[in-house]
Amino acid sequence: MSLSDNNNSTNQKFPTLKNDRLLRALRFEPVDTTPVWMMRQAGRYLPEYKATRAEAGDFMSLCKDTARATEVTLQPLRRFDLDASILFSDILTIPDAMGLGLYFEAGEGPKFKYPIRQQSDLERLPTLDVNDSLDYVMRAVTSIRHALNGQVPLFGFSGSPWTLATYMIEGGSSKDYRYTKGMLYSKPEFLHQLLDKLVIAVIDYLDAQVIAGAQALQIFDSWGGALGHRQFVEFSHAYNKRIVAELKMRHPNIPVILFTKGGGLWLDIQADSEADALGLDWTMPLDRARQVLTESQRQFTKQHKTLQRSKAIQGNLDPATLYGSPETIRSEVKFMLDSAYACGEKTGYVANLGHGITQWVDPERAKVFIDAVHEYQI
Mean pLDDT for each 10-residue chunk of the chain (378 residues)?
Answer: 42 88 97 98 97 94 97 98 97 96 80 94 95 98 98 98 97 92 96 98 98 98 95 98 98 98 94 96 96 90 78 97 98 98 94 97 98 96
- Active-site residue identified among 21, 27, 65, 167: 167
Answer yes or no: is 40 a known binding residue: yes
Q: 172: helix, coil or strand?
A: strand
Which residues, at least 6 apart from 294, have a Cβ–Cβ distance to it below 8 Å? Answer: 343
- Active-site residue identified among 44, 117, 139, 288: 44
Answer yes or no: is 349 a known binding residue: no
Answer yes or no: is 204 a known binding residue: no
The pTM assigned to this predicted structure is 0.94
Answer yes or no: is 355 a known binding residue: yes
Return the axis-axis angle of helices 188-212 and 135-148, rounded to nearest 10°.
40
- Active-site residue identified among 53, 145, 290, 365: 53
Residue 87 burial by Cβ neighbours in a 10 Å radius (0-12, 13-18, 19+)? buried
CB atoms within 10 A of CB 94: 26
Q: What is the pLDDT of residue 5?
A: 43
The question of whether 129 is a catalytic residue gets the answer: no
Q: What is the pLDDT of residue 26?
A: 98
Which residues, at least 6 apart from 106, have a Cβ–Cβ distance to it below 8 Å? Answer: none
- DSSP for 97-137, please give it: HTT--EEEETTTEEEESS---SHHHHHHPPPP-HHHHTHHH
Answer yes or no: is 90 a known binding residue: yes
Answer yes or no: is 359 a known binding residue: no
Single-letter amino acid code for the residue at 353: L
The residue among 151, 137, 37 whose CA lies nearest residue 94 is 137
The question of whether 40 is a catalytic residue gets the answer: yes
Answer yes or no: is 222 a known binding residue: yes
Query: How many Å apart are CA 37 and CA 103, to the nearest integer?
Result: 28
- Active-site residue identified among 20, 90, 207, 221: 90
316 preceded by a cis bond (ω within 30 of 0)? yes
The question of whether 281 is a catalytic residue gets the answer: no
- Active-site residue identified among 21, 24, 40, 330: 40
Residue 98 burial by Cβ neighbours in a 10 Å radius (0-12, 13-18, 19+)? buried
The question of whether 365 is a catalytic residue gets the answer: no
Q: 173: helix, coil or strand?
A: coil
Q: Domain 57-74+88-320: which topology?
A: TIM Barrel (3.20.20)
Q: What is the pLDDT of residue 350?
A: 98
Query: How many Å apart are CA 294 and CA 311, to the nearest integer?
Result: 9
Query: How many Å apart are CA 30 and CA 2, to the nearest integer?
Result: 14
The residue among 14, 4, 152, 18 whose CA lies nearest residue 74 is 152
The question of whether 78 is a catalytic residue gets the answer: no
CB atoms within 10 A of CB 13: 9
For residue 205, report the phi and psi dihedrals to the nearest 5 degrees.
-65, -50
